[in-house]
Structure 1
Amino acid sequence: MLSLFQIILLILDVVWFVIIVQIIMSWLISFQVLNLHQPLVMQIWQGLNRLLEPLYGPVRRILPNTGGLDLAPLIVLIAIYAIRIVISNNIYLFV
């Protein structure tokens, strides 16, 4: 059971990392450091958006419209951190 616990934490860490990469990439695109007209940048950007949209979609439906500010990644990061805390505090259930 401890292995399952570690696998869940690994998956949460990978999702956390992918979200951080997507956030940084969105800033670089906004400040025109990265150009979406480059094929590689566009493929990475579309891949990240397709990968994370199932997480962001339900959160965006719940959140109020904030104009150009997207708070969905922040809410998902907080949720992932909360899940990690709950799992870590209840590790004795997995052993």
Structure 2
Amino acid sequence: MYTVKIALGILLRIMDSLILVRVLLSFFPTLHYSKVTNFIYQMTEPILAPCRAILDRLGLGMGMIDFSPILAFLFLNLLQNLVYAI
């Protein structure tokens, strides 16, 4: 059980890091066609798409700034705390 807890914690931290890298990559439009960028988008989109949908339902999804990474960070942090609490 302890190794599962550690593995889940590491996985959640990796996803957290990938979302941060994706946010930083959004400032460099010339890197959008890289294979690494494509991989990062494929790994983070399953987390960010539901966050965008939640924000759209709340009426916060409009505008040029995407707040879904902030919601994803909060969600992943909550999951990390739950994993370590068990």
One fold, TM greater than 0.5?
Answer: yes
Q: CA 1:36–1:87 in structure 2 vs 1: closer, same or farther (change >3 Å)?
A: closer
Structure index of larger Rg: 1
Q: Once superposed, which parts of structure 1, at least 4 consecutive aligned residues long, lie more than 3 Å away?
A: none
**Partner residue of 1:66?**
62
Question: Which segment is superposed worse, 41-50 or 13-22?
Answer: 41-50
Structure 2 unpaired stretches of 5+: none
**Partner residue of 2:8?**
8
CA drift of 1:22 comes to 1.0
CA drift of 1:19 comes to 1.0
Q: CA RMSD in A?
A: 1.8
CA drift of 1:44 comes to 2.2
Structure 1 unpaired stretches of 5+: 91-95
CA drift of 1:66 comes to 2.3
Partner Cα distance (1:89, 1:16) in 2: 19
Q: Determine if contact 2:25/2:31 at 8 Å carries over to the other structure.
A: no
State the TM-score, normalizing by the size of structure 1: 0.74
The 5 A counterparts of 1:29-44 are 29=28, 35-36=30-31, 42-44=34-36
Partner Cα distance (1:3, 1:36) in 2: 36
2:9 aligned with 1:17: no
Which structure exhibits the higher relative contact order, with contacts defined as CA atoms closer than 8 Å and separated by 6 or more residues? 1
Which of 42, 45, 58 matches 1:53? 45
% identical aligned pairs: 20
Partner Cα distance (2:43, 2:81) in 1: 24
Q: Determine if contact 2:48/2:69 at 8 Å carries over to the other structure.
A: yes
